[in-house]
Structure 1
Amino acid sequence: MGGTARAAVFLGDGTYEVREFAIPAPPPGGAVLKVEAVGMCGSDVMQFHGQKHVPGEASPVVPGHEIVGRIHAITPESAAAWGLAEGDRVCVDEIVKCGRCKTCLAGAGLCTNLRLYGYTMGADHEGGLWGGYGEYLRLLPNTHLMKAPESLTAAELTVFEPLANALNWVASVRVSPGDRVVVQGPGHQGLLCAAAALACGASQVIVTGTGADELRLKTALALGAHHVIDVEAEDVVARVGELTGGSMASVVMDLTPVPAAFRTALDLTALSGARVALAGLKHFTPVDGVLVDLISLKNMSIQGCAGSTPSSMEQAVRLLADRPEIARTMAGTHVGLDDVEHGIALLERRAAGEDAVHVSLVHED
């Protein structure tokens, strides 16, 4: 197609480079996206430091999986298959299934040829532009694309991906009207779990954090959470008891990286039939002092949570179109390609005097 594009390449050792790549042509049955913005998340930090947590993860790699952009070039068959045209804005599902293996044909299980934008196709693989930290992205056949609303900016729309995770997780623990939900951890994923629980009709949503989370707890209230708790200033179990009239939580969602938070989650649950969603990775640190008898005695359900589904992706984009205030409240901070390291510092919470509820990399026009 001619021309070059810039992209940040993570080298897997705590460093990155901004490199130039040739703007690709659409692959057979595919397209090329001009990336407008990509959300930055904690898993990007893991990639930055070379911590691999996705099967088949490549390094060096152009990262970025919370991708929003416009169709730059598209083959006729892809235009017909996707119902899209050049210039259309889309949100990109990072998970690409082959559609041919046994699990894909059976409609269940993990695709044996799974590819993920920003993870599994490295900077040396077929042109290298396979992640949202690049100004252009090569789109494979079978990519799940969702037409995006024009009422929000691309940076605001990048929360679609963590919101899709959140909607999947609240569904997995059956959040419904009348539920009392406690969300532990007010990172951008935890905040969107609070928003998702509210969208499902939870009657009470409580978000917990620490004294360093002032901005994030204020954002939780702006999203509609009923109460926030600083766990360093208050006894969180006693406070949840007060706020719920002694009933405690029917659902606890643990989004923290702190192993001890799981113990607290068990203490926050109601006496019978509560559900606990575990989505905050503890970096393979054992959880000491867990009274597993509580799980049995309280008839508790424990649900591991990871990722989204195609349907929760579509639900997330629809919800942002219907309730744009979620995206605007979560807009956070934007960085450019030449300032990726500042974005990483914000994610790692080591940017002096700064905090952000969400960080997006925005490409210049």
Structure 2
Amino acid sequence: MSGQARAAVFLGDGTYEVREFPIPAAPPGGAVLKVEAVGMCGSDVMQFHGQKHVPGECSPVVPGHEIVGRLHEVTPEAAAGWGVAEGDRVCVDEIVKCGRCRACLACGGGLCSNLHLYGYTMGPDHEGGLWGGYGEYMRLLPNTHVMKAPDGLTAAELTVFEPLANALNWVSSVRVGPGDTVVVQGPGHQGLLCAAAALARGASQVVVTGTGADGLRLKTALELGVHHVVDVDAEDAVARVGELTGGRMADVVMDLTPVPATVRTALDLTSMSGARVALAGLKHFTPVDGLLTDLITLKNMSVQGCAGSTPAAMEQAVRLLADRPSIARTMAGTHVTLDTVEHGIALLERRAAGEDAVHVSLVHGD
């Protein structure tokens, strides 16, 4: 296959380059994707600065794991196995397991010994280099999990499928259900989608907390349908949740902030019996000062670490966007291009003067 494709390469030292690569051919049993859009997230910022946090992560790398595009070339094996054809728009699961190692074959699964993650584990010198969504094209391995995208949404809007899959997995893991009061701390795009996922699971009351700098994000939370938002710079979150619940407090607290102190707040926000806390916001390995573990014991509380999604959650996310496209449209956010990647990073790091975004997508041109 002839032609050139551009891609952003993160060098791992706070810089990046836009390079040209040959448009790849499909690997045996796989496909080539023409990437239309890829969501940008906080883990991309970590990669930008060379901070590694997933197994096998490499640097430099063509990043991007919230991937939506059209199938450019599909081998017969992939077409039959995936139920797709050339030209189909698909959402791509970034996790690729080999399906043959001991962990993959074990009952209940485990960490694949040959795990690949698009946008993380294969560098620019690995078999053509185009293995992440910041490239205009990318190879898809035979064991890739792809899902046909629903109609009626743009590629950029659809990129929220991946963080939504995380959110759906996490609300399931802490058993959010009808009758629950759920508090989400941190209204970044992942926190907002956790709120949307809690609503989809039938939570009776969803509250999102943020700071005075989160005006746009708290407004978006209300547009998603949450019942209340709390500006923690203006009022005490624990007292406010107490008012909203008649003193019963939250059944589930989901902590999505990068601030260690919110872990303490999460424990204070919970009800006195059987509450669940989901810790999903990375604190960059900073200890939590003043953590009172006795609260976990005395409140009979469950604390769950939450990272990543599952294939089932990916499928569920795509179905939910088909059923409730307003989630994707509300979360559409801001778009950048390969020529303005730096602006996208600035938005993620919240250093774009006078500007904020609920979600950032890198959109490739025709």
Q: TM-score if structure 1 supplies the norm length?
A: 1.00
Output the CA distance in 2 between the equivalents of 1:176 and 1:83.
33
Output the CA distance in 2 between the equivalents of 1:93 and 1:227.
33
Kindly report which structure 2 residues correspond to 1:139-158, keeping only aligned pairs within 5 A, or say none: 139-158=140-159
Is the counterpart of residue 82 in structure 1 residue 45 in structure 2?
no
Q: CA deviation at 1:267?
A: 0.3
Aligned to 1:46: 46
Aligned to 2:161: 160
Q: CA deviation at 1:53?
A: 0.7
Gaps of 5+ in 2: none
Q: CA deviation at 1:25?
A: 0.5
Aligned to 1:275: 276
Q: CA deviation at 1:206?
A: 0.2
Q: Deviations over 1:140-176 (max 9, x none)?
A: 0100000001210000000000000000000000000
Q: CA deviation at 1:189?
A: 0.1
SS at match of 1:352: coil
Kindly report which structure 2 residues correspond to 1:201-216, keeping only aligned pairs within 5 A, or say none: 201-216=202-217
Structure 1 moving runs of 4+ over 6 Å: none
Aligned to 2:196: 195
Q: Deviations over 1:255-281 (max 9, x none)?
A: 001000000000000010000000000
Output the CA distance in 2 between the equivalents of 1:269 and 1:178.
15
Output the CA distance in 2 between the equivalents of 1:276 and 1:7.
39
Aligned to 1:241: 242
Output the CA distance in 1 between the equivalents of 2:153 and 2:242.
39
SS at match of 2:51: coil
Q: TM-score if structure 2 supplies the norm length?
A: 0.99
Q: Deviations over 1:122-142 (max 9, x none)?
A: 011000000000000100010
Output the CA distance in 1 between the equivalents of 2:6 and 2:44.
18
Aligned to 1:174: 175
Q: Deviations over 1:83-135 (max 9, x none)?
A: 11000000000000000100101141110110000000001100000000000
Q: Deviations over 1:163-213 (max 9, x none)?
A: 000000000000000000000000000000000000000000000000000
Q: Percent identity?
A: 87
SS at match of 1:220: helix
Output the CA distance in 1 between the equivalents of 2:313 and 2:251.
22
Aligned to 1:136: 137
Q: CA deviation at 1:215?
A: 0.1
Q: CA deviation at 1:286?
A: 0.4
Q: CA deviation at 1:59?
A: 1.0
Kindly report which structure 2 residues correspond to 1:1-365, keeping only aligned pairs within 5 A, or say none: 1-107=1-107, 108-365=109-366
SS at match of 1:27: coil
Counterpart amino acid of residue 347 in structure 2: L
Gaps of 5+ in 1: none
Q: Deviations over 1:8-57 (max 9, x none)?
A: 00000000000000000000000000000000000000000001111111
Work out the number of aligned pairs and report it.
365
Counterpart amino acid of residue 277 in structure 1: A
SS at match of 1:340: helix
Output the CA distance in 2 between the equivalents of 1:54 and 1:77.
30
Output the CA distance in 1 between the equivalents of 2:88 and 2:94.
18
